[in-house]
Amino acid sequence: MAPARRTLPFVLAGLFALWLVVPAAPVSPQLKGPGTGSRGGVVFSVPMEAKFVAITFDDGPSPSLTPAVLGILRQHSARCTFFPIGREVQKYPEVARQVVAEGHEIGCHTFSHVYFRSPAMARLESEFDTCEKLFPETLGVRPTLFRFPGLAYDTTMVQAAGKRGYTVISCSLDAYDWRIKDAKQLAQRVTSLIRPGDIVLMHDGDWLNLPRAKEALGLIFDSLQQQGYICITVSELISFGLAEQGRDQGPE
């Protein structure tokens, strides 16, 4: 085999790897969570001293897991924010309506959970359009919070969401419930790392192991309650954080 032909596969592999890591033109840094505070138009956490936290659930609704999650939240008087996928809302509208009926907040997590790059802005705008029609018609709510799939986005995409009136939400603590296989280890990760003002990323998609997810959630909410944490929605967390900052500054 000629030297050029032998090296071609390695050259192609290198070019593909480069495409994965180099941001698309126009150059705009790829931002990813978790983080703390707010930057670049994205909220990661809300600085505060009071023991308020926001637990969030992505990728639902699931006809098996979401009702189980709601039951655990009900037992602990917790209010949370759900970022459902539009196509799952379309498939399981009654489950999604139950989330709303029980007083939880609904954000948007795109319609099809694809990973976007700036050149694909037309696809992102189309997904916005679809969800902005679907959610009010199906759930009677128009979300004001948005979370990008995989917490992957760039400044162009964040600006596009902002123009639509969304606040882009990432997280300060990823539970890794998609990776940690042991319920006790998963619960320990969340309950040992959590801090006031945290936004915690979890999931209620039907791809999760139901018994493990239920056990971990029960342990997490039991521990948070014992530690004195109050679980509220992301919007409430942002509002309470602003109010706390105002009190700290005092009268002008």
Domain containing 197 equals 58-176+193-205+228-249
Active-site choice (58, 59, 154, 177) = 58
pLDDT tens digits, 26-47: 334 456 778 999 999 999 999 9
Catalytic residue among 104, 109, 177, 203: 203
The reply to whether 6 falls in a domain is: no
Look at 183 and 4; give whichever has higher pLDDT. Answer: 183
Instruction: Report the distance separating Cα 65 and Cα 68, nearest Å.
Output: 5
SS3 content of the chain, % helix, strand, coil (to 5): 50, 15, 35
Residue 53 pLDDT exceeds 80: yes
- Residues 141-199: pLDDT tens digits? 999 999 999 998 999 999 999 999 999 999 999 999 999 999 999 999 999 999 999 99
Query: In which band, very low, low, confident or very high, does the pLDDT at 247 lie, cut at 50, 70 and 90?
Result: low
Residues in the chain: 252
Residue 27 CB neighbour total at 10 angstroms: 10
Catalytic (active site) residue 104: no
CATH of the domain at 102: 3.20.20.370
Nearest partner of 73 among 218, 184, 216, judged by Cα: 218
Q: Which token pair is 162?
A: 């902002």
Query: Is 50 part of a structural domain of the chain?
Result: no
Question: Would you say residue 181 lies in a domain?
Answer: no
**Sign (positive/negative) of CA torsion 91, 92, 97, 100?**
negative
CA-based angle 122:126:127, to the nearest 5?
120
With respect to residue 144, please indicate whether it lies within any of the assigned structural domains: yes
Helices and strands, counts by H and E, the chain: 9, 12
- Residue 223: inside a domain: no
Whole-number Å distance between alpha carbons of 98 and 100: 5
Beta bridge partners, 39, equal: 42
Determine whether 129 is an active site residue.
no
Residue 86 located in a structural domain: yes
Cβ(75)–Cβ(220) below 8 Å: no
Helix (H) or strand (E) holding 54: strand 52-58
Count of the separate structural domains present in the chain: 1
In a domain? residue 4: no
Q: What is the pLDDT of residues 196-239, one digit of tens each?
A: 999 999 999 999 999 999 999 999 999 999 999 999 999 999 99
pLDDT for 243 equals 85
Asked if the structure places residue 28 within a domain, the reply is: no
